[in-house]
Amino acid sequence: MTSQPGRNRDQSRLDLPKIVAFGDSLTAGFGVPAEESYPAQLQRKLDRAGYRYRVVNAGVSGDTTAGGVRRIDWVLKSRPDIVILVLGANDGLRGLALAQTRANLEEIIKRLQAAGVTVVLAGMKLPPNYGSDYTERFAALYPELARIHRLPYLPFFLEGVAAKTALNQADGIHPTGAGYRVIVDNMMPVLEPLLAKVPQG
C-alpha cells in the first residue's frame, strides 16, 4: 500500500494508532537528549519490529498522580489506543498519603478505561531509607491496582536499572540513555501482546 500523493512520512505517522507514554521525569527523559528518552527508544524499537504506532511522550518532570489526574482530558484528546502509566514516584519521594496516591491512580485508570483505552501500568518502588512500612505499602499499590482493573503490568519500571551506577545519571535517580534502553527491552514483552503487527511490503 503506497502513501497518498503529497503525504509525507511525518503526516503518515500522525495518522497511526497512538501509544501515549504518560508519566513524570522518568517518561519525559530528564537529563538525556530527547531521542534517548524511553518513548523515543520505544518508537524506534516498534518501527524496527514492524509495529505501526506513533508513540507520544506525555511526560512532565516533577508530576505527581494528582497532576496526572488534571492531565487526563489532555491525554484523551490525542485519542490514544494504549497508555503506559508511569506515575507515583514523586508522590512517594515526597511522602504523600498513600491513600491519595492510590485514589489518584485509580481515577486515571478508570477514566482511561471508560474511554476505551488499554492501560499498561508500570510499578514503582522507593529507596529503603523511606522506611520499610511506607515503602512496602507504596510498592504494593501497583500490583493490587493491576489485579483489580485487570491491567497489563510491568512490576517495576526501573528493573535492572535502579541502583546501577553505569545506567543512571549522577543524581542516581534518572536513567541514562543506556538505562532507558533496558527499560524498553523490559517493557516489550508486556506491550507486544497488545499490538497489531502490520505485514511489511
* Catalytic positions, written as ranges: 25, 171, 174
Q: What 8-state DSSP symbol labels residue 2? A: P
**Cβ proximity of 91 and 106 under 8 Å:** no
**Cβ proximity of 46 and 53 under 8 Å:** yes
- CB-CB neighbours of 167 under 10 Å: 19
**Distance between CA atoms of residues 149 and 94, nearest Å:** 26
Q: Residue 121 — φ and ψ, nearest 5°? A: -100, 130
Return the closest-CA partner of residue 178 out of 153, 157, 160. 160
Q: How far is the CA of 123 from the CAs of 84, 153, 195, in angstroms?
A: 11, 8, 21
